[in-house]
Chain A
Amino acid sequence: MSEIGTMRVKSGLAEMLKGGVIMDVTTAEQAKLAEEAGACAVMALERVPADIRAEGGVARMADPTKIREIQEAVTIPVMAKARIGHFAEAQILQALEVDYIDESEVLTPADEEHHIDKWQFTVPFVCGARNLGEALRRIAEGAAMIRTKGEAGTGDIVNAVRHMRAVYGGIRRLGSLREEELFAEAKNLGAPVELVKWVAENGKLPVVTFTAGGIATPADASLCMQLGADGVFVGSGIFKSSDPAVRAKAIVEATTHYQDPEVLARVSQGLGEAMASISTAGLDESQLLETRGW
């Protein structure tokens, strides 16, 4: 019997993206440039995070006209962002046949309590997480891929590192607990005990985990991969830099050859200026995107 939309089929696409770079794009031209640079997928959105941060206002799902143009322009998977809890945006994105939906804190949340019930969809979802509990709650809601959140649109990697250390450190910690201790730990994490047990036994999340938020250089991509990421999302880091085509290709090569400092040294040369960056330590609580979602 043939089945569509099973968890294996949904997470299967994320498995194929591993070791790759998913790039934020706002136009068909940018999507082509990303594909040409070797991106394994593109993320369609109306404004890159740095612009959302600078301009403020309500950030929504991208215009379906733009999404269609991007889908026409490339053959790699096209993802698109929906607001947290905005299941109607997600329904539209599924009707457009985007390949993955990112229920993203980078957009303005539509619901203050509930994330989208992702089990209701055939299209797979990726969700952000700052720690193990958040990741497991999203997986329980049907997410087929996780990305650590970082702090989008800043070019500062420190939040991404904090979130990866929290997720991967949390996984290692679970492995050290006794069976009966996992029940209390599930309560602490706010996650279903079955998932907590699975992670404790297998030493990893049941879905692919990428890193996002603040990646601006090939060295940043290598750092994330060495800390355990399966791949990276780059948002503003490419199209807010002085030479997007060269930087995009360099970050792709750095993600593949993340353990090879000679390759990293070579691809890090001649890239021009990185994106205009903001230290997240100086950001006010209200300016943080990472605290959206729960």
Chain B
Amino acid sequence: MDEPLRIGVLAVQGNFREHVNVLRRLGVEASEVRKPHQLDGLDGLIIPGGESTAIGKLVRAYELEQAILGFEGAIFGTCAGMILLARDAVDGLPGQPLLGLIDIGVRRNAYGRQVHSFETDLELAGESRPLRAVFIRAPWIERVGAGVEVLAKHDHRPVLAREGRILVAAFHPELTDDTRVHELFCEVVREAASVRS
């Protein structure tokens, strides 16, 4: 039997506990990451939803920015986490860190304020069963680089995408009981680990 995957969840602000819960249901050894040394020995990292400005400031203040840039495992960003991983943000704030680990351009709060937040069914690439997806003051992906694979769209816009070891979602798979997106991430983590070894 394989060793369980070890995946950390960035826990400076936002919906980190739910990601930890989903990972544990999938048999992953999950931990919370608040400081750079807590990335040591991890196979993967999830950057959760939350407020992208708040997460960005705390990431910078505690030297997590460099640590995440130097992290070699797979990374999954949801909502605010997707913004943090993107190369550019159309309406980014001055001083807001963008790690540029996936070649996409995003628009923050693209669907508007909370009264426009919604849940909907998405078609997932290669799956017949729809995926219920919850969008909370969500960003969308405006620009997709050549190496980026789009895995789901809403209203013709990409909302789930992957480039190599980086996976991003504009919505919140941790808010529903459907674990397929987290299972997909576990696959990405395994692939990235086998590439490294």
Do A and B associate with each other?
yes
- Name A residues whose Cβ lies closer than 8 Å to a Cβ of B: 1-6, 8-9, 12-13, 15-20, 35, 37-41, 75-77, 94, 97-100, 122-124, 252-253, 255-257, 260
In angstroms, Cα B125 to Cα A231, docked, is: 37
Beta-carbon contact of B113 and A2 below 8 Å:
no
Beta-carbon contact of B108 and A40 below 8 Å:
no
A-chain residues with CB within 8 Å of residue B12 when the two chains form the complex: 19, 256
Interface residue tally on B, bucketed by range:
35 or more
- Interface presence of B80 (CB below 8 A): yes
A-chain residues with CB within 8 Å of residue B16 when the two chains form the complex: 18-19
- Interface presence of B114 (CB below 8 A): yes
Beta-carbon contact of B115 and A97 below 8 Å:
yes
B-chain residues with CB within 8 Å of residue A9 when the two chains form the complex: 117-119, 134, 136
In angstroms, Cα B13 to Cα A41, docked, is: 12
Assuming A19-B13, A99-B113, A257-B34, is B175 touching A12 (CB within 8 A)? yes
Beta-carbon contact of B79 and A16 below 8 Å:
yes
- Name B residues whose Cβ lies closer than 8 Å to a Cβ of A: 11-18, 34, 49-51, 53-54, 57-58, 61, 79-80, 91, 93, 108-109, 112-121, 134, 136-137, 172, 175-176
Assuming A20-B50, A41-B51, is B109 touching A75 (CB within 8 A)? yes
Other than the given A97-B113, A252-B57, 17 more pairs (CB < 8 A) read: A2-B119, A2-B120, A5-B115, A12-B117, A13-B136, A13-B137, A15-B49, A18-B16, A19-B12, A19-B16, A38-B58, A39-B54, A75-B53, A75-B108, A98-B113, A253-B58, A256-B34
Among A6, A252, A255, A256, chain B packs the most CB atoms within 10 A around the CB of A256
B-chain residues with CB within 8 Å of residue A255 when the two chains form the complex: 13
Q: Which of B34, B50, B117, B134 contacts A40 (CB 8 A)?
A: B50
Closest chain-B Cβ to A43's Cβ sits at a distance in Å of 14
In angstroms, Cα B116 to Cα A3, docked, is: 9
A-chain residues with CB within 8 Å of residue B113 when the two chains form the complex: 77, 97-99
In angstroms, Cα B80 to Cα A140, docked, is: 30
In angstroms, Cα B16 to Cα A256, docked, is: 12
B-chain residues with CB within 8 Å of residue A6 when the two chains form the complex: 119
B-chain residues with CB within 8 Å of residue A2 when the two chains form the complex: 118-120
User: Can you list 8 A-B contacts (CB < 8 A)?
Assistant: A9-B117, A13-B114, A39-B54, A40-B54, A97-B112, A99-B114, A100-B114, A257-B34
Whose C-beta in chain A lies nearest to the C-beta of B56? A38
B-chain residues with CB within 8 Å of residue A100 when the two chains form the complex: 114
Beta-carbon contact of B108 and A123 below 8 Å:
no
In angstroms, Cα B79 to Cα A117, docked, is: 31
Assuming A16-B80, A40-B51, A40-B54, is B61 touching A253 (CB within 8 A)? yes
Q: Which of A12, A20, A77 contacts B13 (CB 8 A)?
A: A20
Q: Which of A12, A17, A260 contacts B134 (CB 8 A)?
A: A12
Beta-carbon contact of B115 and A123 below 8 Å:
yes
Q: Which of B51, B79, B115, B134 contacts A76 (CB 8 A)?
A: B51
Assuming A75-B93, A76-B53, is B114 touching A123 (CB within 8 A)? yes
Beta-carbon contact of A77 and B34 below 8 Å:
no
In angstroms, Cα B191 to Cα A81, docked, is: 49
In angstroms, Cα B116 to Cα A124, docked, is: 11
Among B58, B79, B120, chain A packs the most CB atoms within 10 A around the CB of B58
Assuming A8-B175, A19-B14, is B117 touching A1 (CB within 8 A)? no
B-chain residues with CB within 8 Å of residue A253 when the two chains form the complex: 58, 61
Q: Which of B14, B51, B108, B134 contacts A8 (CB 8 A)?
A: B134
Beta-carbon contact of B120 and A38 below 8 Å:
no
Beta-carbon contact of A77 and B54 below 8 Å:
no
Assuming A18-B14, A256-B12, is B115 touching A4 (CB within 8 A)? yes
B-chain residues with CB within 8 Å of residue A75 when the two chains form the complex: 53, 91, 93, 108-109
B-chain residues with CB within 8 Å of residue A16 when the two chains form the complex: 14-15, 49-51, 79-80, 136-137
In angstroms, Cα B134 to Cα A41, docked, is: 20
In angstroms, Cα B114 to Cα A19, docked, is: 19
A-chain residues with CB within 8 Å of residue B118 when the two chains form the complex: 2-4, 9
Whose C-beta in chain A lies nearest to the C-beta of B154? A2
Whose C-beta in chain B lies nearest to the C-beta of A20? B13
Beta-carbon contact of A19 and B11 below 8 Å:
yes
Beta-carbon contact of B51 and A1 below 8 Å:
no
Beta-carbon contact of A122 and B175 below 8 Å:
no
Beta-carbon contact of A15 and B15 below 8 Å:
yes
In angstroms, Cα B80 to Cα A178, docked, is: 42
Q: Which of B57, B91, B120 contacts A3 (CB 8 A)?
A: B120
Assuming A16-B49, A76-B51, is B13 touching A256 (CB within 8 A)? yes
